[in-house]
Chains A and B, each alone.
Chain A
Amino acid sequence: MSPSIPLQEMIRAIRSARTQCEERGVIQRECAAIRAQFRQADNGARSHNLAKLLYVHMLGYPAHFGQMECVRMIASPRYSEKRVGYLGAMMLLDEKQDASLLITNSIKNDLSHSNQYVQSLALCTLACMGSAEMCRDLAPEIDRLLRASNSYIKKKAALCAVHIVRKVHELGELFAPAARSLLTEKNHGVLHGAVVLITELCERNPEALERFRKTVPDLVQIMKGLVISGYSPEHDVAGISDPFLQVRILRLLRILGRHSETASDAMNDLLAQVATNTDSTKTVGNAVLYETVLTVLDIKSESGLRVLAVNILGRFLLNNDRNIRYIAMMSLQKIVGTDHNAVQRHRGTIVDCLKDHDASVKRRALELSLALVSASNIRSMMKELLLFLSSCPPELRAQTASGIFNAAERYAPSQRWHIDTILHVLTTAGGDVRDETVPNLIQLITNTSELHCYTVHKLYRALLTDISQQPLVQVACWCIGEYGDLLLKGECQETEPAQVTEDDVLDSLETVLQSHMSAPATRGFALTATMKLSTRITDNVDRIRSIVSIYGSCIDVELQQRAVEYNALFKKYDHMRAAVLERMPVIEKNSLGQTNGESAVEAIKAVQPATVKQGEPPLPLQPANQVCDLLDLLGGSEEPLQPSSVQSGTASGLPINNSSTAGGDLLDLLGGFEPTPAAPAPAVTVYEKDGVNLTLLCEKHSDSGLTVTLTASNSNDSDISSFTLQAAVPKSVQLHMKAPSGDFLPARGAAKVTQMVVLNNPNKVNLKMRVRISYTSQGSACQDTVQIDSFPGL
């Protein structure tokens, strides 16, 4: 009678269940029976019950109640029960369970058992799930077993030592001498274990690496024995003598030979021999060759050997077997950084692999192709990559798109080509590109001023065909908003001009606004673009006005806010409209994190909020501060996703966080409404011109916070009205301007205007502030800017 018949009966019962429900029923009954039996005292069928439980566990049903049973079974003197108990421990227990601590003692006893199979069970379990404490306790035992036992146990002990070293790095020292001595063994299993152990020790600890370099001659000797020796039937796999061991030794040689001339010299002959003698018609031969090639390329080998290695890889690449081609591409990927030219020779084959129908091969080919793009082959490579993009599997699209963008950025032969390429990607795979693409593209477009006409024509046409690809639509809207006049002019050098009327343009923008496919961000773009067109077109301004006022009651808060502000621009601030909506300046490319408060100041056209909002219909503003928003123009074009400053809370100077990589700093200027008392104190004069005097006083009120008070006075004979101050600070500094005490500066210093500015400088950057002063004096508007670099009292 075979011992696991009850297990087999249960399996049969489970298999005969026709539905999932039936199967669950059977399993529940069995589990209940098993649980009952566990609770009973020692009965004969314990191992069967646990075996049944493990089967059930494999099918996915909960089996944690078997953990204590495992512990009991491990402690049993019977081999059959121990065996199942250890198997259960490996499957059900891990170091996080408390029960695992209980088996430490059993393992310890079993490690010194007289029967080698019991020892091996203990070693196996320790290597699988030993926790750090268990490893520390049992490490001396393992060391003992490494030195003095039979080869069966030695090889298991060696791998167990590897696990211990992985868990507790310091114990590596303990095993180093034993590992060294194991290299003299004849048994291949032990040798294999020893090599793995030495590899692990060398990878973890550079001093161990130094010491083990001395073993290179021994390893070379062993390899030679394997390669040259005649046929040995016990280790032969398809004509090669123990390929697994060969591969392991080659890997260890690679680690030892890296960065070391002497070690590399000692291996050169051997590697050459292996490379030439190994039979590459079978997979095993290829495995050894592959490992050899990797080793040659990684150590400081002589150039002849390197050429040989790359040639072998080239041969692999042309092999019919897809596995080999995959492997070859993986290794070419590793060396494309160092031996770029050698890999370039195989570019044709690699690009062909892009068309293979195996998804894994495609993935490798894509990575390698992207690495091989250079200034000389950019046009042809890009053609291939774009072709690939249109037919590639969906999981690779994002990677392809971003790879194409990087390559285009680095090697674009001309601006027009660059823009064309990006547009092509957006039309093919618009949904998979990253968020920064839109601002980057916009920045690129503004920088190529000679191509504005061409770009806007192309984008307009693209918009007419398809409005589902959001990044494309966003860029198109922005361009039409900015350069709509070029579109309407009807002449263009680079491409055929479109005969477009103003209505057509507005129609297309309205389609975007109304389409259900448009994301909220996209609609924001479209609305702002419509608004911008109001200064660039002549006839249909009323239409724009009506569009803008319709959206004043839109459900989307962002759109509503914009619409209301634009409405205000039409009504009360019409005189400013042209200035506000004029062409954007060239945006400087800014990498993330750089602060660039100064450069963007000119670009800011801010509307002084002071009295506007009180008269407006209820706005979706936070109640608290009645904060006035300023038309954040840069915000509207560059980061559609970022709500304009109002929504983000009271303090305006919140640095715009994520999407604006392009474009300099955006400064949101803000005025609050709470009047603050003027602060009389000795202060530093920072500006004095035309009778207007501005002084500054600093007070530090916390570790990174600081209050700056600006006081203005007028020593002219005439009054100054509409006096406003605007401030800009570096990006990481937060700015909050409180309300000014007023905006009227009577003549001859009769009264002063004070404004408090609260700064928060968490990153402790060098604090600078630029202040713009604008006022009206004797009927004319004046404006000036002053930069404050030093803050007294800081």
Chain B
Amino acid sequence: MIKAILIFNNHGKPRLSKFYEHYSEDTEQQIIRETFHLVSKRDENVCNFLEGGMLIGGSDYKLIYRHYATLYFVFCVDSSESELGILDLIQVFVETLDKCFENVCELDLIFHVDKVHNILAEMVMGGMVLETNMNEIIMQVDAQNKMEKSETFIFQSTRQDR
């Protein structure tokens, strides 16, 4: 089971934080800070697995992370997930973001947080991997966006009347 998915930049500012178990807001921020602290210490050519975070749960959990340019993608998982599989999942996630946003960069994630959440919701649900086929994910996300746009179009036109 995936306990949390975090994306933060090289200075530790969170760009996306999704927790699949409930924590209070303070604990969530502490977890983000602690994870950033652990991950930023790592060298470039060491392995992508980290153990030893105190808050996020104890001996069964490890952090699997990947560093892309200015962003760290961190998945906190327990032993029931295959570590190499999660590494691949991060890759698929980033590639999907790339396709959806056209050459995604950090600014895209900053200004379209809700879209990123929607994409993530198509891939991981309730802490479990849902769909790993990039095309399938993109298809569903596009369909949902289209539906939303058709609604708001009507809404926007009424709003302009006020």
Contact = CB atoms under 8 A, between A and B. Distances in A.
Contacts of A283: 84, 87-88
Contacts of B148: 3, 79-80, 83
A86 B115 CA distance: 14
A123 to B, nearest CB: 8
Contacts of A244: 85, 88-89, 129, 132
Contacts of B25: 57, 60-63
Interface in A61-117: 61-63, 78-80, 83-84, 87, 91, 94-96, 115, 117
B114 A87 contact: yes
B79 to A, nearest CB: 9
B158 A44 contact: yes
A321 B49 CA distance: 12
Nearest to A97: B22
Interface string A239-256: 000111001000100000
Contact of A358 (B47, B85, B114): B47
B143 interface: yes
Interface string B1-15: 000000000000010
A610 interface: no
Contacts of B131: 155, 189, 192
B147 A360 contact: no
A325 B126 contact: no
A435 to B, nearest CB: 22
B88 A284 contact: yes
B60 interface: no
Nearest to B52: A395
B152 A80 contact: yes
B100 interface: no
Given A117-B147, A360-B46, A327 B114 contact: no
Contact of B114 (A79, A84, A96, A193): A84
A295 B19 CA distance: 30
A175 interface: no
Classify chain A: how many residues form its interface, as a range.
35 or more
B50 A360 contact: yes
A360 B159 contact: no
A31 B125 CA distance: 29
Given A44-B159, A60-B28, A243 B43 contact: no
B105 interface: no
B126 A188 contact: no
Nearest to B13: A59
B51 A363 contact: yes
Given A58-B16, A189-B133, A124 B125 contact: yes
Given A60-B29, A360-B50, A361-B46, A83 B118 contact: yes
Contacts of A51: 113-114
A87 B117 contact: yes
Interface in A258-314: 283-284, 286-287, 290-291
A128 interface: yes
Nearest to A203: B80
Q: Is the interface of B mostly helix, strand, loop or mixed?
A: helix
Interface stretch (A159-167, A589-597, A696-704): A159-167
Interface in B54-92: 82-85, 87-89, 92
B138 interface: no
A79 B151 contact: yes
B121 interface: yes
B125 A127 contact: yes
B17 interface: yes
B152 to A, nearest CB: 5
A251 B83 CA distance: 13
B129 A4 contact: no
A694 interface: no
Contacts of A363: 51-52
Nearest to B114: A51
Contact of B135 (A95, A193, A234): A234
A86 B106 CA distance: 25
A537 interface: no
A347 interface: no
B100 to A, nearest CB: 14
Interface string B128-162: 11111101100010011001110110011011000
B48 interface: yes
Contact of A162 (B43, B47, B128): B128
Contacts of A162: 126, 128
B45 interface: yes
Contact of B136 (A189, A284, A358): A189
A189 B130 contact: yes
A152 interface: yes
Interface stretch (A7-15, A512-520, A633-641): A7-15
A237 interface: yes
Interface string B92-118: 100000000000000000111110011
B158 A243 contact: no
A788 interface: no
B113 A55 contact: yes
Given A60-B25, A117-B144, A127 B126 contact: yes
A321 B47 CA distance: 8
B128 A159 contact: yes
B82 A251 contact: yes
Contacts of A291: 82
B22 A96 contact: yes
B130 A155 contact: yes
A243 B88 contact: yes
A500 interface: no
A62 B112 CA distance: 21
Contacts of B46: 322, 357-361
Interface of B: 14, 16-18, 20, 22, 25, 28-29, 32, 43, 45-52, 82-85, 87-89, 92, 110-114, 117-118, 121, 125-133, 135-136, 140, 143-144, 147-149, 151-152, 155-156, 158-159
Nearest first, the 5 A-B pairs at minimum CB distance are A127-B126, A287-B84, A94-B22, A358-B46, A322-B47
16 contacts: A3-B152, A4-B114, A87-B114, A94-B22, A117-B147, A127-B128, A155-B130, A159-B130, A192-B131, A244-B85, A244-B129, A287-B84, A321-B47, A322-B47, A361-B46, A363-B51
Given A58-B113, A60-B32, A83-B144, 4 more contacts: A60-B28, A156-B125, A163-B126, A247-B82
